[in-house]
Amino acid sequence: MTDLRYPIGQFHLPKEMTSQQVQEWIEDIRLLPKQLADALSGASEQALAKSYRENGWTVTQLVHHIADSHLNSYIRFKLALTEDVPTIKPYNEAEWAQLPDSEMPVATSFHLIESLHERWVYLLTSLTAQQLQRAFNHPDSGLTTLEHAIGLYAWHGKHHLAHIQNALTN
């Protein structure tokens, strides 16, 4: 039986990362807003209230979570590019998903994702090989290079896109 929590599987960092792989991940990040728009197109309020699994987040909460998570990631990238291995502040995703702004229309966070990804991809495509090796320290998961974080967030977008697609087709 497929684990509904991980419809595309868990993230696995390749043993060797190539510039080609990094470019593919950047392209995944670039494409997410369009893919999200396609998935959400025509969805009713009732459909947006559906979850991809029992006790899972609703489509609305997932869209807001992507905005929250990717905004945090963008800030982490900028910190890593301007500070020497900064320690970033984690946040409680589950509690953020319960805050009142998670009940706003999905369009609000969708527009944020569109704009954020445009800026993020612009930044990512400008990074040198040396900059891709810059890192931040996450108190729970340790040192993360920007190269690794690009892969993780490419996966993260696809991961939650699959949750949304599953919720809207079931």
CATH number, domain at 137? 1.20.120.450
pLDDT in the model for residue 3: 87
Q: What is the mean pLDDT of residues 79-94?
A: 97
pLDDT attached to residue 170: 81
Q: What is the 3-state secondary structure (H, E, C) of the chain?
A: CCCCCCCCCCCCCCCCCCHHHHHHHHHHHHHHHHHHHHHHCCCCHHHHCCECCCCCCEHHHHHHHHHHHHHHHHHHHHHHHHCCCCECCCCCHHHHCCCHHHHCCHHHHHHHHHHHHHHHHHHHHHCCHHHHCCEEEECCCEEEEHHHHHHHHHHHHHHHHHHHHHHHHC
Confirm whether 6 is domain-assigned. Answer: no
| Number of folded domains that form the chain | 1
Statement: the pTM of the whole predicted model exceeds 0.85: yes
Would you state the pLDDT for residue 2? 74
Is residue 32 in some structural domain? Answer: no
**Least confidently predicted of 12-16, 43-47, 69-73:** 12-16
123, part of any domain:
yes
Name the average pLDDT for the chain.
Answer: 96
pLDDT of residue 11: 96
